Amino acid sequence: MDVSGSVPPAKEGEPAAAPADPLAYEGVWRFTVPAVEESVPQARRAVRDLLGRQGVPADRDLVYSLLLIVSELVTNSVRHAALLSPEVAVEVAIGREWVRVAVEDNHPYRPKALEADFGQTGGRGLLLVREVTRESGGVCDVEHTSTGGKVIWAALPLAAPAPRTPAV
């Protein structure tokens, strides 16, 4: 899935494709919240309200997945990065065919999705993000920022993925 929004280059001898006019819901929005527990539901509400206000053609399952991802990522930043990052940035980028949510903090540690340990009551947030993203047909990753922190993002398609056919 190309989430860059760029137009593919033209083949030799073909005219370059002009970018399509942006749809009403397309754009990028960014806000910051304090790295405190109360910010988790605030970030979730802000993203939900943005999706509704922009008229994003997302079904209830996609919205639920996006809000779950935002909750988990903001929670991780609040719990594990607050000492080095008193604020957490949340970015929502909406394209013609996808929605990308990202959470950025100033902590340099690159987290790893933990394996499921059913005896443990926490520590599975990134595993959950990875699985929800995969089941939605999307992609997610962790990247370092130029300031030494990190951004964790997930991009989900607006159209539902094709149903999988069981192997015979």
Residue 153: predicted pLDDT: 96
Residue 23: predicted pLDDT: 86
Question: What pTM value is reported for the model?
Answer: 0.79
Indicate whether 115 pLDDT > 90.
no
Cα–Cα distance measured from residue 129 to residue 90, given in angstroms and rounded to the nearest whole number: 15
Q: 60: pLDDT confidence band, cut at 50, 70 and 90?
A: very high
- Strand partners for 82: none
Q: Which of 33, 44, 49 is nearest to 72 (CA)?
A: 44
Helices (H), 16-149: 39-54, 60-81, 125-135
What single letter denotes the amino acid at residue 84? L
Check: CB of residue 98 under 8 Å from CB of residue 138. yes
Indicate whether 160 pLDDT > 60.
no
In degrees rounded to 5, what are phi and psi of residue 167?
-70, 140
Residue 114: predicted pLDDT: 47
Check: CB of residue 35 under 8 Å from CB of residue 90. no
Residue 162: predicted pLDDT: 53
Q: What is the mean pLDDT of the chain?
A: 84
